[in-house]
Amino acid sequence: MGRTYKKNTGSACGKGIGGQAIVEGVMMRGRTEYVLAVRDIESKQIKIEKTKLKNGGKRNSFLSLPIIRGVAAFVDSLVTGIKVISRSAQMAGLEDLEDGEEEEMSRFEAWLTDKLGDKLVSIILAVSVVVSIALSIGLFMVLPVCVSSLLNRFLNLGTWALSIIEGFTRICIFLFYICLTSLLKDIKRLYKYHGAEHKTINCFESGEELTVENVRQYTRLHKRCGTSFLFLVMIISMIVFLFLRTDVVLYRIITRIVFVPLVAGLSYEVIKWAGRNDNIIVDIVSAPGKAVQLITTKEPDDEMIEVAIASLKGVLEDEPEEP
């Protein structure tokens, strides 16, 4: 009955399997496609939608270089993340409930649709990505510089102390943001699907059959999680910016913005290395990120696990064999 899914060699990282919690569901991504599995809030049925990746998921040689590939992966995950969150809300039927009867478009909306046509969605997505990146840089890079500079006026800190306080401020802002958003009802539910995603991938990587009973017993923490990546960005940025010390606020802000790609690229390489190895050093490096995952993941119910399994099976059905 059905198909048994077990790892062939290595881990799911070797097969390029990753995931993301979405509205009422889970997105799993393989090397050539990603699959959305969403539970309809009315019928309670699981809806599956598969999307092929451009160029079969392959990047050109330049974008595959170390560090560069991390920046490319970060931008790609941000674009895909915004896209699948919006699509999952449609699949779950939430937009229909919120809108009720279809409202007539405003003159401005009608003008945009007429002038831009099919390009409108792409433009909105691009604007969303730019705004998201700008807000993230402002909150996690520029704000810590301003806070530490303000403290410097009263405490007359040296450049070393200034950089260290800036780094700890960045980490505190990140943790505060995570804790604050975790109080929201919808985010709590999203975090349960996040836990279901991790449990399912952990079960697959262990070579177990993908059943609710098997998945349930696995941990909801994972060393390749996006939360761990973001926390690593905070840590590595502190280390990098220790070598770019100055008490000139404008220079500090500019360097923080300019070096964001380098920090993201280095963080990606560390996560990638951790995903391919299993030793005491990896455990130490992964520990802080896993600790933060205690906030960003919650124990899912069986229905959520069913959705995560459906998404992963959807990817594995079409995933090419390892060469």
Task: Give me the pLDDT at residue 5, please.
Answer: 45
pLDDT band at 245 (very low <50, low <70, confident <90, very high): confident
pLDDT in the model for residue 75 = 87
Which class for 124: exposed (0-12), middle (13-18), buried (19 or more C-beta within 10 A)? middle
- Is the model's pTM score more than 0.75? yes
Q: What are the sequence ranges of the domains in the chain?
A: 18-98+111-318
d(CA 167, CA 145): 9
Q: 3-class SS at 5?
A: coil
Distances (CA, A) of 42 to 45, 49, 203: 8, 18, 29
For 191-232, write each residue's pLDDT tens digit: 999 999 999 999 999 999 999 999 999 999 998 898 999 999
- pLDDT of res. 14: 41
